[in-house]
Amino acid sequence: SAVISQKPSRDICQRGTSLTIQCQVDSQVTMMFWYRQQPGQSLTLIATANQGSEATYESGFVIDKFPISRPNLTFSTLTVSNMSPEDSSIYLCSVELAGVGTYNEQFFGPGTRLTVL
Amino acid sequence: GENVEQHPSTLSVQEGDSAVIKCTYSDSASNYFPWYKQELGKRPQLIIDIRSNVGEKKDQRIAVTLNKTAKHFSLHITETQPEDSAVYFCAASRDTDKLIFGTGTRLQVFP
């Protein structure tokens, strides 16, 4: 597996502001993803972070609200823009490591707990 | 698109008993089915996975079975221990496509 770190681990923010979350991996990976996990809920994919090109967003998530960067194969950022209390959640990055055959295993970062007041 | 349903939402067992969590998926092209364990306040951790070319996989006390015809797969934990208490998520994907997660099962193992 890979060592995945996220910064910050938690933050409390005022509504209307933006927060950028960083995800760093200790090895080059092909795929990086950003998920949201609301309290007591499952994991919802926000977008796939593509290296060198625009991220691929899932239904219900837009680039203006969640801009994503992935400048290289070990690093990505997710920004939560113009925050409201509804954005309070845990945000997790995950990476896909090469496995056997075509199907690759995903491993998660420790998450960023965001509270918006 | 893919839809994954997971049951039960909560499960309580006595230590030493077995626990079974079931998931169904909708996309017959899905071919990779991982299971994650998430302890309170921690990240989801991959505990076992199965690919569509096998029907069962075991790793010590945990096993996963897959029925492609019925489009369902299950997690079996034998000889449960208090440290097995956590939320378990199943997921499904097609090739290297995104993972679609089930809604989770909160397992409580009572000593």
The 3-state secondary structure of chain A reads CCCEEEECCEEEECCCCCEEEEEEECCCCCEEEEEEECCCCCCEEEEEECCCCCCEECCCCCCCCCCEEEEECCEEEEEECCCCHHHCEEEEEEEEECCCCCCCEEEECCCEEEEEC
pLDDT tens digits, one per residue of B40-71: 999 999 999 999 888 999 999 999 999 999 99
Considering only CB atoms, A110 lies closest to which of B43, B99, B103, namely: B43
Cβ contact, residue pair B34, A106, below 8 Å: yes
CA distance B26 to chain A (A): 17
pLDDT tens, per residue, chain A with 117 residues:
689 999 999 999 999 999 999 999 998 888 899 999 998 999 999 999 988 889 999 999 999 999 999 999 999 999 999 999 999 999 999 998 766 555 678 899 999 999 999
